[in-house]
Amino acid sequence: MLDCMIIGGGPAGLSAALVLGRAKRRIILLDDNRPRNAVTRESHGFITRDGTTPAEFRRLAHQDIQKYSSVEFRTERVTDAVRHTDFLEVTTAAGAVYHTKKLLLATGLKEVLPDIPGIQEYYGRSIFSCPYCDGWELRDQPLAIISNDEVHARHLLVVLWNWSHQLLVCTNGKYALSLEFKEDLQRKNISFNEHPIINLAGHGGQLERITFSNHEEATLTGGFITPDWFQSSELGEALGCAKSHSGGILIDEFGRTSIPHVYAAGDTSAIAPSQVIIAAGEGSRAAIGVNTDLAHEEF
Ligand SMILES: Cc1cc2nc3c(=O)[nH]c(=O)nc-3n(C[C@H](O)[C@H](O)[C@H](O)COP(=O)(O)OP(=O)(O)OC[C@H]3O[C@@H](n4cnc5c(N)ncnc54)[C@H](O)[C@@H]3O)c2cc1C
**Domain CATH for 126:** 3.50.50.60
Identify the CA nearest to 133 among candidates 258, 213, 41, 210: 41
pTM of the model: 0.96
Whether the per-residue pLDDT at 258 is higher than 90: the answer is: yes
**Ligand 1 pocket residue status of 231, Cβ below 6 Å:** no
Say whether both 233 and 281 belong to one domain.
yes
Atom of ligand 1 nearest to the CA of 43: 8
Q: Three-state DSSP class for 110?
A: strand
Summarize the confidence of residues 155-171 as an average pLDDT: 97
Say whether both 118 and 218 belong to one domain.
yes
As a whole-number percent, the residues of the chain with pLDDT over 70 amount to 99
Say whether both 88 and 118 belong to one domain.
no
Q: Which of 225, 252, 275 is the C-terminal boundary of a domain?
A: 225
Instruction: Tell me the per-residue pLDDT of 49-80, one tens digit each, with 9 for 90 and over.
Output: 999 999 999 999 999 999 999 999 999 999 99
Q: Return the amino acid letter for 45.
A: G
Compute the distance from residue 270 Cα to the ligand 1 centre, in Å.
Answer: 14
Instruction: Tell me the per-residue pLDDT of 213-238, one tens digit each, with 9 for 90 and over.
Output: 999 999 999 999 999 989 999 999 99
Instruction: Tell me the per-residue pLDDT of 81-101, one tens digit each, with 9 for 90 and over.
Output: 999 999 999 999 999 999 999
Q: Write the residue with the smallest CA distance to atom 52 of ligand 1.
A: 37
Atom of ligand 1 nearest to the CA of 134: 8
Whether the per-residue pLDDT at 270 is higher than 80: the answer is: no
Q: Which of 195, 225, 255 is the C-terminal boundary of a domain?
A: 225
* Residues paired with residue 225 on neighbouring β-strands, in sequence order: 146
Strand-strand pairing, 228-231 and 222-225 = unpaired
Q: Return the amino acid letter for 52.
A: T
Whether the per-residue pLDDT at 158 is higher than 90: the answer is: yes
Say whether both 158 and 102 belong to one domain.
no
Compute the distance from residue 78 Cα to the ligand 1 centre, in Å.
Answer: 16
Say whether both 24 and 91 belong to one domain.
yes
Compute the distance from residue 296 Cα to the ligand 1 centre, in Å.
Answer: 32
Q: Which of 225, 260, 275 is the C-terminal boundary of a domain?
A: 225
**Ligand 1 pocket residue status of 31, Cβ below 6 Å:** yes
Q: In terms of DSSP H, where are the helices of 173-275?
A: 179-187, 235-239
Say whether both 19 and 90 belong to one domain.
yes
The residue length of the chain stands at 299
Say whether both 152 and 164 belong to one domain.
yes
Distance, in Å, from the CA atom of 106 to the CA atom of 281, rounded to the nearest integer, reads 12
For residue 83, what pLDDT is reported? 96
**Ligand 1 pocket residue status of 54, Cβ below 6 Å:** no
Compute the distance from residue 101 Cα to the ligand 1 centre, in Å.
Answer: 25
As a whole-number percent, the residues of the chain with pLDDT over 90 amount to 94
Say whether both 128 and 191 belong to one domain.
yes
Query: What mean pLDDT, rounded, does the chain reach?
Result: 96
- What is the extent of the structural domain holding 168? 114-225
Q: Contact at 8 Å (CB) between 146 and 170?
A: yes
Whether the per-residue pLDDT at 35 is higher than 90: the answer is: no
Strands (E), 97-240: 97-105, 109-112, 127-128, 143-146, 167-170, 191-193, 197-203, 206-212, 217-219, 222-225, 228-231
Distance, in Å, from the CA atom of 150 to the CA atom of 125, rounded to the nearest integer, reads 25
Summarize the confidence of residues 184-207 as an average pLDDT: 97
**Ligand 1 pocket residue status of 133, Cβ below 6 Å:** yes
Q: Contact at 8 Å (CB) between 38 and 54?
A: yes
**Ligand 1 pocket residue status of 284, Cβ below 6 Å:** no
Whether the per-residue pLDDT at 246 is higher than 90: the answer is: no
Angstrom distances, CA of residue 167 to CA of 81, 97, 176: 46, 52, 18
Q: Which of 37, 56, 268 for mutating ligand 1's site (highest number of atoms within 8 Å of CB)?
A: 37
Compute the distance from residue 12 Cα to the ligand 1 centre, in Å.
Answer: 8
∠106-241-132 over CA atoms, to 5°? Answer: 45
For residue 271, what pLDDT is reported? 63
Distance, in Å, from the CA atom of 150 to the CA atom of 170, rounded to the nearest integer, reads 10
Say whether both 143 and 204 belong to one domain.
yes
Atom of ligand 1 nearest to the CA of 233: 38
Whether the per-residue pLDDT at 247 is higher than 90: the answer is: no
Say whether both 21 and 100 belong to one domain.
yes
Q: Three-state DSSP class for 55?
A: helix
Say whether both 257 and 219 belong to one domain.
no
Summarize the confidence of residues 257-284 as an average pLDDT: 93
Say whether both 105 and 199 belong to one domain.
no
- How many of the other CB atoms lie within 10 Å of CB of 115? 12
Whether the per-residue pLDDT at 285 is higher than 70: the answer is: yes
Task: Domain count for the chain, please give it.
Answer: 2
